[in-house]
Amino acid sequence: MNSANENSINREKQLLICCARTRVSAAIAQRIREIAAQSLDWDYVLYEAEENSLTPLLAKHLAEFAPAALPPASAELLNKTCRANTIRNLYLTGQLIRTFELFREKGIEAASYKGPVLAAQIYGDVALREFEDVDIVLRQRDLSGAHEVIVGMGYKPKFDWILSPGASAALVPGEYNYRDIERRAMIELHTELTLRHYPIPPNLDEFFRNTIQVNVAGREVPTFAPEYLLPMLCIHGSKDFWERFSWMADVSELIQGCPALDWDKTFQVAEALHATRILRLGLTLAATVLDAPLPPAIAKAVEADKIASGLATEIMRRHLRRKFQTLDAAGRLSYRRRMLPGFATGWRYALRLSVVPAEEDWVMLRLPKALAPLYIALRPLRLLRKYGWARRPATKPST
């Protein structure tokens, strides 16, 4: 990766931003042509496209608007990466469909979330959105039956001891992760207990009363209605500090793909989850970065949240640096604290996420069931060791 000045950094990142959409206006198309015609560090562009899960969209728009821009070696690498993504996505789509067929046979109510169903629903093509796994939401009470189904499909749980009789009931992962190592496939189950980044646990009975069917490769797969899905996508992006442009694209594409979206209902759902500011932050990023059209009243309400606007500015400032740097421990705590309005409420949310143990804490040290509460003390120490308290560079985390 070659060195570059600040202007070239902005050009390369701006190219990705222009390509992070399915709907390209004439002005954006011209901007893609102009940027691609300049001297760019194409190794850096392809690297950042992969880091931000935008490779398929980059390839699509370069092929349409600037087909001769890429050097031959870069073009070959981009095509190879896209083929691999398409093959993986099609395989995971098949696994999603098979999983839901087996769930229906066992009477397990579930809904797909992100992954193939979101690609089909708002991108119009399962190959256009990068995803690495299949995400499924179900009730905690159905976890045992779902576990049997997925293990029967040849997957192995990442933490098989979590569901064992000797495990502490307090040890709930961020998701129940299952892997087929040979085929490099992964299924993740989410329940009301694993969705720890929600300010309060979602009422899944209500969520399941508001599902829709999406055609995925000729099969109907349930997912949540847009009014529920939009806050969920914003909480997901916020959980990981909006470190990928693709999460902003998901929000933008959902807004544009659902012109009949009931905005009042959407904000009611967010308010019930205590996630109104989280929703406003996601909408701010979608509108300011990707030109997502918001109704005037919604745009006014979003702009009025100065904390959400300030957070969006901070996020984009970090994105536009050449070398992305994740937040240190102090920055993570500050970000979480500002996600919820109110001094006490924000601090409770930030501190809860700082002490509730996660998978990495269990990997670092396996404690017997009787000592499981000590994970609450160990987690802050691990976060400090991993991220540092201030001004310490770090790579993008997965959790």
- Count CB neighbours of 99 within 10 A: 24
The rounded distance, in Å, linking the Cα atoms of 334 and 341 is 13
Q: How do residues 214-248 score in pLDDT, each as one tens digit? A: 999 999 999 999 999 999 999 999 999 999 999 99
The rounded distance, in Å, linking the Cα atoms of 241 and 173 is 19
The rounded distance, in Å, linking the Cα atoms of 36 and 19 is 11
With b meaning 16 or more CB within 10 Å and e meaning fewer, what string describes 11-26? bbbebbbbbbbbebee
Grade residue 323 by pLDDT with cuts at 50, 70 and 90: confident
* pLDDT (mean) for 328-333: 89
| Mean of per-residue pLDDT scores for the chain | 88
Domains in the chain: ranges and CATH? 1-70 (no CATH), 86-224 (3.30.460.40)
Residue 122: is it exposed, middle or buried by C-beta count within 10 angstroms (0-12/13-18/19+)?
buried
Grade residue 374 by pLDDT with cuts at 50, 70 and 90: very low
Four-CA torsion 91, 94, 96, 100, nearest 10 degrees: -160
Look up tokens 């192995």; give the residue.
156
Residue 9 predicted with pLDDT over 60? no
Q: How do residues 51-103 score in pLDDT, each as one tens digit? A: 999 999 999 999 999 999 999 999 999 999 999 999 999 999 999 999 999 99
